[in-house]
Amino acid sequence: MYKDVGIEDIRGFYKNKFAFKHDYDFTKNPINFYHIDNFKLLWMFSNIKENTKVLDFGCGSGVLACLKRKGCEITGIDYSETALEYAKKINRYDYVLSVDIFDYDNYNYFDYIVSIDVFGHIPFEDKDKVIAQLKRFLKPGGTMLHGIECGQVDYAAMSKKELKKFIEVDGHVGIEGKPENTKRFKKSFKHVSAEVRFDVVNSVNEFIKQNDSYGNTDWGNELITYLKNLTEREAFAFNVASGITQISIENRNMRSSQNTGGFLFLKASDNKLEHRNMEIISRQNREIVSHPEKKKNAFFKRIMKWHF
C-alpha cells in the first residue's frame, strides 16, 4: 500500500518522522502519571515487572524510558537510525538496532515484546508473520504487550488522493478493528486479551488532530472550537482530567465495543494473563515512582489517595 501512494523508500519515509530529541521518562514528575499523553506509557509501565528483559519493537526515540526505573534491560529496534541514537543517548536504552526483524536472531531471550503505535503501520499481508517472528524472541511463557491503532478504516473505498493523504499523516497502512487484531494474535498465543481505550476520552491535541487531519467529525464543531481556544493551562487541566478518567476506566477493566475505534491495549501469552491496576494506586509500588521531595507536595499527597 505504501507503493500505491508513491512511498517507494519506506525507511526513508520513517527516517525522521518519529525521531524526537526528547527525554520520555515521565516518572520524573508525579503529575505526569495523570496526564493522558502518558497513558500509553503508564499502561506498559504498570504491566511490566521489574528487572526483566524487554524488546521494544518500533521503539522510535525511546518512548519507554520509564522502564529503566524498574531495572529493565531494554533493546530497541527501529527503522530510523536517528531515532535510535536518541533512544540510546537520551532515553538510556541498553541496545538499539536498525535491523529487519527477520534478520534478527536473539531467540528465547526476552520476557516481554512490546510496541506502541506500530501495528497500524504494518501492511495487512505481513501482520501474521511479524507476530510469529516476534514470538520467537520471547522466552517460553513470555508476554507480548502492544498498543495498537484500532478502528474500522475502509481503505478500498478511498480514492488514490484520499488514500495518499490518509497514509502520509502517520503512515497508517494497516489499521483494523479489535476483533481482527485479537484473532491474529490468537493464531500464535493461547491467551489473548484486548480492550480499546481513547475511544471516549482523549487529549486536546488528539481530538483536534482526528478532526483536522483525519476528517473525524464524531464530536461536532462545538467541541473542536472549544478545544482550539483553550489556554495552555486550561489544556493541561483538561488532559490531566482526561488521564484520571482513562486510568479509572482501565482499573475497572471496562469492556470496549467490538467495533469502536481508538487505541487497542493487547496482551498475549501462552501463560494465563492477569489484569493489573495502574501502579500509581498500588501502595507497594509507589516508591518506584515517588521522590521524597515530591511527597511534601499537598496536591500530590491528596491525589495519590484517590481510588479509581
Using pLDDT thresholds of 50, 70 and 90, give the confidence band for residue 287.
low
Nearest-5° Cα angle at 193, 187 to 194: 105
**CA–CA dist 96, 299 (Å, integer):** 38
Question: Which carries the bigger pLDDT value, residue 113 or residue 307?
Answer: 113
Q: What is the pLDDT of residue 282?
A: 46
- Beta strands per DSSP E along the chain: 53-57, 73-77, 95-97, 110-116, 138-150, 191-197, 262-269
Name which of 30-34, 123-127, 302-306 the model is least confident about: 302-306
Q: Are 185 and 192 in contact (CB under 8 A)?
A: yes
The 10s digit of each residue's pLDDT in 214-251 is: 777 777 789 999 999 999 999 999 999 999 999 999 99
Per the CATH hierarchy, to which homologous superfamily does domain 3-201+256-301 belong?
Vaccinia Virus protein VP39 (3.40.50.150)
Q: Which of 48, 56, 98 is nearest to 74 (CA)?
A: 56
**pLDDT tens digits for 174-192?**
999 999 999 999 999 999 9
- Which position has the grid cell 484520499? 162
- What's the mean pLDDT when you consider all of the chain? 88
Where do the domains of the chain lie? 3-201+256-301
Tallying the residues shown for the chain, one arrives at 308
Q: What is the dihedral of CA 111, 138, 150, 68, to 10 degrees?
A: 30
**Helix residue ranges, H only, 15-123:** 39-47, 81-89
Q: Which residues pair with 196 in a beta bridge?
A: 264
The residues, ordered by sequence, that sit 6+ positions from 177 with a Cβ below 8 Å of its Cβ are: 150, 151, 152, 258, 259, 261
Pair 147, 115: CB distance under 8 Å: yes
Q: Looking at residue 90, what is its pLDDT?
A: 98
pLDDT at 296: 40
Say yes or no to pLDDT of 284 above 50. no
- Answer for the pair 153, 181: CB distance below 8 angstroms, yes or no: no
User: How high is the pLDDT of residue 304?
Assistant: 45
pLDDT at 43: 96
- Give the pLDDT confidence score for residue 218 in this predicted structure: 75
How would you list the strands of the sheet with 110-116, edge to edge? 95-97, 73-77, 53-57, 110-116, 138-150, 262-269, 191-197
| C-alpha cell, 100 | 529487519
pLDDT for the residue numbered 289: 52
Looking at residues 104-133, what average pLDDT do you find?
96
Beta-ladder partners of 136? none
What's the mean pLDDT in 160-185?
90
CA angle 176, 216, 234 (to 5 degrees): 115
Alpha-carbon dihedral sign for residues 194, 195, 197, 200: positive
Query: Which of 135-144, 164-173, 214-223, 287-296 is predicted least confidently?
Result: 287-296
pLDDT of residue 280: 61
Residue 301 has pLDDT above 70, yes or no: no
**302 pLDDT above the threshold of 60:** no
